[in-house]
Amino acid sequence: MPGLLAVSESPLNAKRLRAEALGLPDPNARDLVAEVTTPEIRIYNPRARTSVVLIDCGTKLGIVRSLARRGVAVVRVPADTDFARIMSFSPRGVVISNGPGDPKRSQATIAAVRRLMRENLPVFGICLGNQILALAAGADTYKLKFGHRGQNQPCLEAGTKRCYITSQNHGFAVDGETLPRDWAPWFTNANDGTNEGIRHRRRPFWSVQFHPEACPGPTDTEFLFDRFLEAAG
């Protein structure tokens, strides 16, 4: 919800302020990912034998650190990097990072991820990456009436009785009802029942709406990085 913070020693003109607030541009109408992605390719832990590509849609450096300390090189690329350039690094897997705004604005990223899945390359999405993976798979996303913010969002893992406490900051979600037959919901928000993760039923593609790297926040779901890297070999 857009709004204004007005400070004045004289009485405020509510009518003028209301008109100004209504005239604020919608940030979701902009390609916010293009504004925050890295402008250049950066490599972390370059001496490692195994590398993964991190598609930077506005990534938290905690994701970079979580991967690097597990012994892999992290090739951080701009969000609009195409399939051929990503594959030129011979990655064992690809991570799609978090980021701001409407995921449907990231058409170049969606196209690259769709092409990567044809190669059966392990793909792991985080936050916005969850939405981008869903769109690449053929599902839909939507704007939440109330976004998820904070470090204590409870998420239920499908097929288990486990509830994880997670860190979240997002305003869009995957419509789980639109997932293709080969895909299944992975996690669900225990508060409002919205989707918190998806996975392919047979192939190495997964994503979560929350932040397994925490930083700051609970570390309940850091094991997801280990699962991804096991699949990436």
Q: Report, as residue numbers or ranges, the catalytic residues.
A: 127, 211, 213
Q: Tell me the two tokens of residue 120.
A: 């059966």
How far is Cα of residue 168 from the mean position of the Cα atoms in its chain? 10
